[in-house]
Amino acid sequence: MWRRAQALMLIAVTLTAASVIGQDTVVATDEQRDRWMRVYSEEAAQYQMFRRGEEEEELELVASPIQTFTNPVRVRDTHGATFVWTSDGRPEVVGAIWSVVSPEDSTKRHLSHEFHSLSTAAIYSRHAPRESQLGVVPDWNSNEPGIKQAAIPNAPTPASSANLRLTQMRHLARNFEPSVPPGTGDGQGSFRLLAQPIYRYQSEKHDVIDGAVFAFVMGTDPEVILQIEAIQSDNGLKWHYSIAPMTNLPMRVDYNGTRVWECQRAVPWVGDRPHFMYWRVSIRDREID
């Protein structure tokens, strides 16, 4: 289907060659990067994701990452991959599996998992029991929607062709501006909108005629997810947006200078919220055989 073709075309994001850790420069070879990307895909595949509703539904993992990323702004050679789990094509969960070089032992990498619900229903996950340095890793079991959909103010009527709708979505996305509130000590860096969506889709079940996932990034690391969707309803076909954080920082987003969304600092290691972050799920050798 065309939504998969669009996603596969957007997978490749170039990883940087090196990152500085203290006085040491860590250079990752292309072969090592490829091996780590396989690790991230294997980790994502171990999750079963479910959407609650009138009928419980298991979500479908898009097997290939929709994006790979690095974050040269942050220390310790951060890299990872972004995944989505879908319901009839519509992304209901976005997840990042990523790792950093251990501050205690530069021959090791800490592997972390982060997910956010993109669903208007509650989401939960299943995974084989795991235990990390921080204790038992909880399952994700959120009892509330992960997003709030809203019509985009003064947006044009969705165009009749897919190409023109993509142009409209890209133009609308550029009107959103995320930022970290002043005084946030660890909120260094700025956010850049990737020119193309990292995933595009349709969903008859969810009345989405066309939709796209955009990412505001630091380096190429998604920090804020923006969904733009042409949704058919009793009020006609209109553009809607929803926003989700992929960072623990407090965030806010303006649309054409007007505040439309904000969130508080996220709490890690807690499994009952729409945003699930578990750092240091495991520790692995930096060099993978």
pLDDT at 152: 98
Integer Cα distance of 197 and 166 in angstroms: 9
The CA-based dihedral angle spanning residues 4, 10, 287, 99, taken in that order and rounded to the nearest 10 degrees: -90
- The neighbouring-strand residues paired with 213 are 199, 227
Cα separations in angstroms, 136 against 41, 104, 117, 128, 270:
22, 22, 22, 11, 11
pLDDT at 219 over 60: yes
Cα separations in angstroms, 254 against 93, 109, 152, 251:
23, 36, 12, 10
Domain count for the chain: 1
Phi, psi angles (nearest 5°) of residue 249: -75, 150
Distance of CA 129 to the CA centre of its chain: 24
For the chain, percent of residues with pLDDT exceeding 90:
71
- The neighbouring-strand residues paired with 277 are 114
Phi, psi angles (nearest 5°) of residue 56: -65, 140
pLDDT at 26: 52
Task: Quickly tell me which residue has 């904000």 as its tokens.
Answer: 262
pLDDT at 129: 85
Report which of 107, 93, 104 is spatially closest to residue 47, judged by C-alpha positions. Answer: 93
Mean pLDDT of 170-185: 90
pLDDT at 191: 92
The CA-based dihedral angle spanning residues 219, 224, 225, 227, taken in that order and rounded to the nearest 10 degrees: -120
For residue 154, what are the domain limits? 2-285
pLDDT at 55: 87
pTM exceeding 0.95:
no
pLDDT at 187 over 70: no
Reported as a single tens digit per residue, the pLDDT across 146-169 is 999 999 999 999 999 999 999 999
Lowest-confidence region among 66-75, 97-106, 180-189, 203-212? 180-189
Reported as a single tens digit per residue, the pLDDT across 96-124 is 999 999 999 999 999 999 999 999 999 99
Integer Cα distance of 115 and 84 in angstroms: 9
Give the residue, 26 or 75, on which the prediction is more confident.
75
pLDDT at 64 over 80: yes
pLDDT at 22: 36
